[in-house]
Copies of this chain bind each other. A is one copy, B any other.
Amino acid sequence: MTNWLQKRVRLSPKETALVFEGKIETFEEIYQAAENLAGKLFFQGVRKDDRVAILGKNDRLTFLLIHALQQIGAETLFLNNRLTKKEIAYQLENANVKEVIVSDIFLDKVNSGISYTELIQVEYKQPDILTTWDLTKVASIMYTSGTTGKPKGVIQTYDNHWWSAVSSVLNLGLTEHDSWLCAVPIFHISGLSIMMRSVIYGIPVYLEEHFEEEKITKMLLSGEISTISVVTSMLERLLRVHDGGYHSNLRTVLLGGGPANKATLEVCKERNIPLVQSFGMTETASQIVTLSPKEALTKIGSSGKALFPAEVKIAADGEILLKGPSITPGYLHNEEATKKAFLDGWFKTGDIGCLDEAGFLFVLERRSDLIISGGENIYPTEIEQVISNYEPVQEVAVVGKADLKWGSVPVAYIVASEGFNEADLRTICQTNLASYKIPKQFVLVESLPKTASGKIKRNQLKEN
């Protein structure tokens, strides 16, 4: 297929592509800026099929860099900027990247790499821009931890992104006045998928560095925004700062990244907020099961149905299984994990759910122990492994506790021997774990509740 951004420029050069900090840029302008950056990357030696990491925040330059790397045909590893230096180092090594491009404010998180400032200053060398794209090629890689605690690099091909965007449009529709507000991280699939849709649909991305509920509320009231992606904690913050509906141009508030409680959903219904629940993950290139706008307010609590090209079914043990062209071909350099993730061609989500008789999916339980904090997935195993490395810790179990701001936060239950010192443990955690993963509380206990077979009863700890 033709290079998407080039094709978009040919179709609608003068339409708005990006609105960031009040600056409006057209697809033509975005392309020119991305091409210029591609020339600088080219000068730096970045070539087709090279794997390049980006460590940045939601800003114009990161947005352009993503496009620039795609123009050259490099694979992009998206680094979560909240991770520690150690966590980042693991991903860079595991992915075996050729180059790391780092926003200046995150330079202390990497041992080496080109800063944004350095990159802008290098010469421009006419880059080899791909005029056509092989859609089976890797577009992006994003690490997720999963139950084993070892982060795995999820591969997303151009095909995955294409089908995700097309699937979504067949459900949510598309109008000439659409625009998508992106206040979720573009290093996560929730944000990157908005960028991809923007190019495929020809609609503007309103990019926000942070989710500031007052500012976002103003934008939703202005009529400029048709669609916004939110996670539960964002939605709850929005509902708190403004107690009415929004502009009638806002036609979709797409909720992903974990379930909302019934009360929140009811409030949205009362206020006539066009909330559309969805279910998806990095491995499915964003939403793959979504409510339709028409059913959004009548099927409260459901994540919807599998989008047109996809399928969902429930395994005998209750696990949610998915099939469809937006699903990852597998994990980078990890055939074993890839093999484990699929069952007869169906992707195993690890989540538990059921389908009602009309075929609507209800997600009952996320991967047994998953903690979703402000839209970030936290896997207790990863935290437990770090804590276990502190000698005085004999046993540890991390569980999520309800939190007004973040939805849920991790708490560690520890059986310790003499010499245990919380300050020391906290330091270890700070070196090894992104701050959102660090337990908000370390609770010393005599013993951990266990089943007869010795498995920790996490549910019992949660109820403490």
Binding site for B on A (CB under 8 A): 1-2, 7-8, 10-13, 166, 169-170, 173-176, 178, 200-202, 292-294, 305, 308-309, 311, 325, 358-359
Contacts and interface: CB of A to CB of B under 8 A. Distances in A.
A1 B323 CA distance: 10
A308 B11 contact: yes
Contacts of A325: 1
B170 A2 contact: no
Contacts of A173: 173-176, 178
Contacts of A12: 292, 294
A319 B242 CA distance: 59
Given A10-B359, A166-B166, A308 B174 contact: no
A184 B234 CA distance: 49
B174 A170 contact: yes
Given A174-B174, A359-B10, A1 B169 contact: no
Given A10-B359, A11-B308, A305-B10, A170 B169 contact: yes
Contacts of A178: 173
Contacts of A170: 166, 169, 174, 200-202
B169 A292 contact: no
Contacts of A292: 11-12
A308 B200 contact: yes
Contact of A308 (B7, B175, B176, B308): B7
Contacts of A174: 169-170, 173-174
Q: Secondary structure of the A side of the interface? A: loop
A358 to B, nearest CB: 8
A306 B2 CA distance: 11
A200 B173 CA distance: 12
B175 A175 contact: yes
A305 B294 CA distance: 32
A227 B166 CA distance: 20
Nearest to A167: B166
A309 B309 CA distance: 18
Given A7-B308, A176-B293, 20 more contacts: A1-B309, A2-B309, A8-B308, A11-B305, A12-B292, A12-B294, A13-B358, A166-B170, A169-B170, A169-B174, A170-B174, A170-B200, A173-B173, A173-B174, A173-B175, A173-B176, A173-B178, A174-B174, A176-B294, A200-B308
A310 to B, nearest CB: 8
The 10 A-B pairs at the shortest CB distance, nearest first, are namely A173-B174, A173-B175, A10-B359, A166-B166, A174-B174, A11-B305, A1-B309, A176-B294, A176-B293, A2-B311
Contacts of A8: 308
A200 B293 CA distance: 16
Contacts of A308: 7-8, 11, 200
Nearest to A308: B7
21 contacts: A1-B325, A2-B309, A2-B311, A8-B308, A11-B292, A11-B305, A11-B308, A12-B294, A166-B166, A166-B170, A169-B170, A169-B174, A170-B174, A170-B202, A173-B173, A173-B174, A173-B175, A173-B176, A173-B178, A176-B293, A200-B308
A276 to B, nearest CB: 12
A8 B359 CA distance: 12
A463 B432 CA distance: 85
Nearest to A178: B173
Nearest to A359: B10
A173 to B, nearest CB: 4
A311 to B, nearest CB: 6
A44 B2 CA distance: 46
Contacts of A2: 309, 311
Contacts of A358: 13
A302 to B, nearest CB: 13
Contacts of A200: 170, 308
Contacts of A305: 10-11
Q: Which of A176, A178, A293 has the most CB of B within 10 A?
A: A176
A261 B294 CA distance: 41
Contacts of A13: 358
A322 to B, nearest CB: 13
Contacts of A166: 166, 170
Contacts of A176: 173, 293-294
